[in-house]
Structure 1
Amino acid sequence: MSGSSGDSQLFEETFVITEVDHKKYDRVARLTAESTDKQTKMTLDINTELYPCSEKETLTVVLATTLSLDGQANDVDGKGWRDVSKPGAPGSGESTLADMYDYVCYGKIYKFEDGPDGQTIKVYISFGGLLLSLVGPFKKLTPLRVDYTYLLVKK
């Protein structure tokens, strides 16, 4: 996490995909992955039509409160981040954090569970029905105690 957007970036980690499960839905796979430091596990539902993934691929995953490079809130005028008339939106000519990633979603952090050892925590996030769960050290995942977040992924 670098630059002025560091305060808006709640979580950043590199994961290696250990399993890709296509059984439940046609265009969605459930990815299971482990961080390169082996401390965090991730389960992510991803639209494989938009972003195909396979086992052993490496993904960089960021969770951020805004896409603005200066850390300012995105939705100050009630319009979504894709509104091209808004400065900082895709197609507006102004760069955003989304420009640096291949797959971007916006969702709600809806549940936390403490791990049995008291040192880990599990976080659940929904991106319009596509789910993400992270299990890892309490200290690493505590910044996610916000309501909404952007998911940014790149290979």
Structure 2
Amino acid sequence: MSGIASDAQLFEDHFRVERLSEPKYDRVDRIYCKSIDGSIDMSLDINKELFPCKVDDELHVALASSLHYDGHRDEDETRQGWRDLAKAGSSESTLADMFDYVCYGKIYKFEDAEDGQNIKAYISFGGLLMSLEGPYKKLTPLRVDYVYLLVRRG
């Protein structure tokens, strides 16, 4: 894993979109992806107006506890308004500057996968859901907590 190299980084990997679900909502697609090395499966509800995806797109996906490179956490009111700070011309560079699609949500559940070797993590970003299933070793840094989802192409 390389890319964001931040103290806030909890998870980072590259994925290829394998399929999209049948559309149920006007602005949301559920994408199903597999990591490039084949070890992690991901499903993600994504706002297709903000970040449209298609089969075979390659995505760089990260989860971080903070948008600050040094890993320090924001106050609750600042965390909710990180977009406003960027629009206001804040000179401080954040992880969000390196990505095209950023959401804030909560890791709310873990369960053991059927094979006993993997774990599955569930995350909600205001009702847009994500699941990650893969080896314990790669998903160990995740815990029930609030996180930022960061996605970009490539």
Deviation string 1:63-101 (CA, Å, 9 cap, x unpaired) is: 00000122211x2363232242xxxx4531211000000
**Bigger mean CA deviation after superposition, 18-27 or 50-59:** 18-27
**Bigger mean CA deviation after superposition, 75-84 or 101-110:** 75-84
Deviation at 1:146, TM superposition (A): 3.6
* TM-score, reference length from structure 2: 0.90
**Equivalent in the alignment of 1:97:** 95
- Give the paired residue count: 149
The runs of 5 or more residues in structure 2 that have no matched partner are none
Distance 1:62 1:11 in 2: 5
The runs of 5 or more residues in structure 1 that have no matched partner are none
Distance 1:94 1:122 in 2: 35
**Equivalent in the alignment of 1:72:** 72
Within a 5 Å distance, the mapping from 1:84-123 to structure 2 comes to: 84=85, 89-90=86-87, 91-123=89-121
Deviation at 1:52, TM superposition (A): 0.6
* TM-score, reference length from structure 1: 0.90
**Equivalent in the alignment of 2:63:** 63
Distance 1:33 1:143 in 2: 21
